[in-house]
Structure 1
Amino acid sequence: MVDGLDTDVVGADDAADRRDEILARVTDHAGRMARELARLQGGDYGTAEFDTDAGEWTLKYEGGDVQYLRFEGRGREIYVVSTKEPPEPGPLATALDDYDALVAAFNEHVRDAEAVLADLSFDPPEVASADAAVEDRERLLGRVRDCADAMAGQLRRVEGGDYGAYSARVNGTRWELKWEDGRASYLRVGGEGGIYLLSQYEPPAPRDVRAHAGDFGAFVQAFNAEMRELSDEIDAVSL
């Protein structure tokens, strides 16, 4: 007969229930730390480490909830809270002996963050208004637009059709006016990849207007000279 077969086996229910009760309280408490960390670090997920005299704690959180709480110390690695199986009562007790130190380290971490900003004064300088630059640009480009539209109207009369382009070189730089239905579609300086003084999209930068607006008059003069040549050529024709 085998000794011990008649001996009662002690049930683990009480120990498991007690562990689960403690783990529920730890998970809830660590979850509060996780939510505060998420607020402090400004993200939905992250990891933070806290050193104590007994070891190192790692708290990982996501969506404001604790993903795991790990203790590494006293020669052991213990996942106090995790998405996997719960720790055994012995390792849990070992880790929880240092839990108060974890909370103290966490609180010090938060207080340090408060202290960083506590004495900070922030008085930014006034932001300069772009009104004057925009108004000047619109005023100059409005005059360019009026003149370019007048040129487009003349080109339509001379060339016929509904669209076309006129180009000339000014101080070695190519200027191109594209027109459609008697109005300027765009005015570009510098060929492909150049600066669009006029377009159907965004206006040019003020510096680009400053750099090229002064040569627009020479572009108009080149246009006028070409129109006069055409007129002279036609006048020379006799029927």
Structure 2
Amino acid sequence: MNEGIDFDFADTEDVAARRDEVVAAVESHAGRIARELALLQGGDYGQRAFTTSRGTWTVKYEGGALQYLRYEGKGGAETYVVSTKRQPDPADLATAMRDYEAFVESYNDHVESLSGVLDDVSTDFPAPRETADVVAERDRVVDRIREVCDEMAVQLHRYDGTDYGTFGTTVSGTRWELKRDRDRASYLRVGGEGGIYLLSQYEPPAAPDVRRLVGDFPGFVESYNDHVEELESDLDGVTL
């Protein structure tokens, strides 16, 4: 039974209140540093460490706002002076705050070291070359490939009698596949899954790909012609 126990104990309310007051002041002040770092480093998310004679301070920010301010003394002990998780121990906070002014000086030195760093950087850049001629030549070649493939699709549609189909063959050891939608070419892909689309419903091929592959296109057409010739021979001698 505890009715006879009457011991005094210290009230922590004043200590906790002072701790919260200090943390709030640091959060406001270091929050400005976090915003400046976000501007300086060119992103809303990041962190940076600043070294003093007594330890290392790490500022982490998210969305341009201070996420935490961590102090690590030379002995290795860490104190989250500002954190979204919990308030620091008052004694650890007091130790860290003895080095806070040095942290701010280290930050100021960092900013000062970048002053004028871009002064001698020239913005007199060479004019970029236009791609109009290359694109026009690419389109000329691709348009001709599409004309031929559309005609192949017409003939395949006429023979197969289905709305969708493919014709595939191997040219110089590489898989070529023409897919048709009724009597029009849907795509011409070279190299199987993950290959290059010489024809596509979505975007034109890159000019270097066209240059590299167009030399084998006649072989693809010849393979198609051989395929048609085999179909014709299959019907030779059929009488009704």
Name the TM tier (shorter chain): 0.5 to 0.7
8 Å CA contact 2:177–2:192 kept in 1: the answer is yes
Task: Tell me by how many angstroms 1:209 deviates.
Answer: 1.6
Matched with 2:51 is: 50
AA partner of residue 210 (structure 1): R
Which runs of 5 or more structure 2 residues have no equivalent in the other structure?
Answer: 1-10
Task: Tell me by how many angstroms 1:113 deviates.
Answer: 2.4
AA partner of residue 29 (structure 1): H
Cα distance change of structure 1 residues 111 and 179 upon mapping to structure 2, 3 Å threshold: same
Residue 33 of structure 1 pairs with residue 33 of structure 2? yes
8 Å CA contact 1:80–1:87 kept in 2: the answer is no
| SS of the residue 1:109 aligns to | helix
Cα distance change of structure 1 residues 176 and 38 upon mapping to structure 2, 3 Å threshold: closer
8 Å CA contact 2:179–2:185 kept in 1: the answer is yes
Q: Identity rate of aligned residues, in percent? A: 44
Matched with 2:205 is: 204
8 Å CA contact 2:55–2:72 kept in 1: the answer is yes
Cα distance change of structure 1 residues 207 and 44 upon mapping to structure 2, 3 Å threshold: closer
Range that drifts further, 34-43 or 144-153: 34-43
Query: Equivalences for 1:177-192 in 2 at 5 Å?
Result: 177-189=178-190
8 Å CA contact 1:78–1:95 kept in 2: the answer is no
Q: Distance in 1 between matches of 2:118 and 2:124?
A: 14
Matched with 1:62 is: 61
| SS of the residue 2:114 aligns to | helix
Cα distance change of structure 1 residues 15 and 132 upon mapping to structure 2, 3 Å threshold: same
TM-score by length of 2: 0.64
AA partner of residue 35 (structure 1): R
AA partner of residue 29 (structure 2): H
Residue 84 of structure 1 pairs with residue 60 of structure 2? no
Cα distance change of structure 1 residues 193 and 14 upon mapping to structure 2, 3 Å threshold: closer
Task: Tell me by how many angstroms 1:112 deviates.
Answer: 0.8
Alignment coverage as a number of residue pairs: 224
Query: Equivalences for 1:56-135 in 2 at 5 Å?
Result: 56-63=55-62, 64-65=65-66, 67-68=68-69, 70=71, 72=73, 81-82=81-82, 83-85=86-88, 87=90, 92=94, 99-135=100-136
Cα distance change of structure 1 residues 19 and 184 upon mapping to structure 2, 3 Å threshold: closer
8 Å CA contact 2:16–2:90 kept in 1: the answer is no
Q: Distance in 2 between matches of 1:168 and 1:185?
A: 17
| SS of the residue 1:114 aligns to | coil
AA partner of residue 213 (structure 2): H
Task: Tell me by how many angstroms 1:85 deviates.
Answer: 4.5
Q: Distance in 2 between matches of 1:111 and 1:131?
A: 46
8 Å CA contact 1:156–1:182 kept in 2: the answer is yes
Which runs of 5 or more structure 1 residues have no equivalent in the other structure?
Answer: 1-10
Cα distance change of structure 1 residues 99 and 156 upon mapping to structure 2, 3 Å threshold: closer
Q: Distance in 1 between matches of 2:131 and 2:152?
A: 31
AA partner of residue 58 (structure 1): W
| SS of the residue 1:187 aligns to | strand
8 Å CA contact 1:34–1:60 kept in 2: the answer is yes
Q: Distance in 2 between matches of 1:66 and 1:176?
A: 54
